[in-house]
Amino acid sequence: MSKITTGDFKESLKFSPEVREQNIRTLKTELFDVLVIGGGITGAGIVRDAVLRGFKTALIEKDDFAAGTSTKSSKLVHGGFRYLKQMAFGLVHEALVERKILMDIAPHIVHPTKCLLPIYENSAEPPFLIHMGMWMYDILAFTKNIGRHRMVSAKELAILEPELRQEGLKKGAEYYDCKEDDFRLVMATIQSAAQHGATIANYVKAKEVIRENGKIAGILAENRLTGESVPIKARVIANATGPWSDEIRSALFDEHDPHVRTTKGVHLIVKHSDLPITRAFMQFAIQDKRPIFAVPWKTLVLLGTTDTDYAGGLDRIYTERRDVDYLLESFNYYFPKANLNDDKILSAFAGLRPLLREEGKSASEVTREHAIFEAPENFFSIIGGKLTTHRVMAKDMVHRLSRRLERSFSVSAKNPHCITDKVPLYGGDIVNYETFRQEWVGRLVRENHFDHDIAEHFVESFGTRIPDVLKAVAATPDGRERIHPGLPHVWGELTYAVEHGMTLALDDFLIRRTHIFSLEKHQGLDVYPGIADWLQKRLGWSEDEKQKQINRLKQKVHFTQYFREEPSHENPIHRQS
């Protein structure tokens, strides 16, 4: 994809703690057209769309970018084959088109992958219906299809995927969707917005509404690193806080009519060597026939997910014993040779789907479409959707915000049309990904003498920003050395993560910037001391602060290992649906 740039475009983005401080000063002093609350994929999409249309735009995130649901996904950019059963043809078509657009604007992050839906004698749907569904899945992508499905015999499947249960297997449908790195997708979207002039800060929490002459004039936020108040003036405000949407509406406006239905989704993480499958599997849980996925991802396989109503605390989501049992039972049925058990689970993560509230439906049946609520005044909330469709959600939201800006403030967009499908994400200005990958991997191995896996990791994580990473590597003592012997991350990435990725906490780096937390059984607890010392020096932490950071990391490890203990009663509503 070729480059389209706007006025404030910065090729190499400095996105450091000092830039954040400067951004907070800007937040306090300037009047914004659009203020976005929430730095998950939805907020990231909105801030990027708004700034690309030429609005003066800001975004605040109370935690790290993508610390909420957006890093708890199944790592798929997909049309959602299962929604065909609900006759949601419009949604599936939209998602299939978005799949291709995301491949184009972020080719280093979103990659096509083969998927497989095995069909058994006792499958809920007969083979001909699944075959018809597959045709429809291809057709609904129109010209944006990324590969046609094919039906595969049981005999061939036994060779292609020997881990799969053979008993009762009739055939399988092989089709295509995409895999992604959800953190990288959010971060590249945020960085793209910042690159085009948006004012963005993480660890800034919206707390109160500012009123002038009785009208909403902005948000009083808090810098969570210093406790200082950050008053932000804005003409229109976009609430993109996902699962927190109702909570924030009630905190700001004392409004208590719920828009969101939060359902919990759990994934188990196992090593790929313990379940050596080559395709992403869609299967149906043996307990209730819900679709479940086994997705090979990096050196892992993600097994998910549950879908259960959730009414507990939004900032502390545990994986419980019953979540794990539900998934193990089904996946052991489908992959009997793997003999999956607690010992093979590295960790288990839980996220909350911010679904549109629809009464009388089970969690799985609730629509994955989105809706925008305009109230009160210039405060807009967006609910629902999927990671895959975030760009369309953002487009709809910015369209609504533009209309309000025009009508109430006579402020019009410099570029009236949405161009987010044409502008590459940060690091995504790549014409042909395969050529780019081969060239860069070759160069990094031959000229820079990196191991092959490190070179591949650089290409997938940073795309065309690799030169910045190489500078960071050169500027870091032992910058070329691996942080963990079994993983491709090198110490220089710490410099890059802080200077170009607004990394401010130990878990920002271990959980999100590198995924070491998920990729390795100790979840970073065996390598954190060196990283904590480095961050302490760079970020000026006191000993107390460093200890807090370490405790926070340990607590997050605890959340993902909680299922090994007795089940808790913290989540009062819990039913597989």
Ligand X SMILES: Cc1cc2nc3c(=O)[nH]c(=O)nc-3n(C[C@H](O)[C@H](O)[C@H](O)COP(=O)(O)OP(=O)(O)OC[C@H]3O[C@@H](n4cnc5c(N)ncnc54)[C@H](O)[C@@H]3O)c2cc1C
- Residues engaged in binding ligand X (CB under 6 A): 37-43, 60-63, 67-70, 72-76, 205-206, 240-244, 248, 265, 304-305, 351-354, 385-388
CA distance 58 to 80: 32
Q: How far is the CB of 526 from ligand X (least distance, A)?
A: 27
> Is the Cβ of residue 385 or residue 492 nearer to ligand X in the bound state?
385
Q: How far is the CB of 520 from ligand X (least distance, A)?
A: 21
Beta strand 111-120 with 280-284 is: parallel
Q: How far is the CB of 450 from ligand X (least distance, A)?
A: 30
> Is the Cβ of residue 54 or residue 218 nearer to ligand X in the bound state?
218
The β-bridge partners of 383 are: 371
CA distance 459 to 477: 22
Tell me phi and psi for residue 383, to 5 degrees: -130, 145
Beta strand 169-179 with 111-120 is: antiparallel
> Is the Cβ of residue 201 or residue 506 nearer to ligand X in the bound state?
201
Q: How far is the CB of 456 from ligand X (least distance, A)?
A: 22
> Is the Cβ of residue 156 or residue 208 nearer to ligand X in the bound state?
208
Q: How far is the CB of 350 from ligand X (least distance, A)?
A: 7
Q: How far is the CB of 555 from ligand X (least distance, A)?
A: 16
490 secondary structure, DSSP code: B
| Cα-based angle 27, 13, 524 (whole degrees, multiple of 5) | 95
> Is the Cβ of residue 41 or residue 275 nearer to ligand X in the bound state?
41
Q: How many CB atoms lie within 10 A of CB 319?
A: 24
> Is the Cβ of residue 266 or residue 487 nearer to ligand X in the bound state?
266
Q: Residue 57: enclosing H or E segment and its boundaries?
A: strand 57-60
The β-bridge partners of 150 are: 174
Q: How far is the CB of 48 from ligand X (least distance, A)?
A: 13
Closest CA to 86 of 372, 358, 388, 391: 358
> Is the Cβ of residue 102 or residue 557 nearer to ligand X in the bound state?
102
Q: Residue 479: enclosing H or E segment and its boundaries?
A: none
482 secondary structure, DSSP code: B
Q: How far is the CB of 147 from ligand X (least distance, A)?
A: 18
The β-bridge partners of 233 are: 31, 218
> Is the Cβ of residue 42 or residue 364 nearer to ligand X in the bound state?
42
Kindly list the distances between the CA atom of residue 351 and the CA atoms of 130, 316, 347, 402, in Å, as whole numbers in the listed order. Answer: 29, 10, 14, 32
CA distance 571 to 313: 8
- In sequence order, the 6+-apart residues with CB closer than 8 A to the CB of 150 are 173, 174
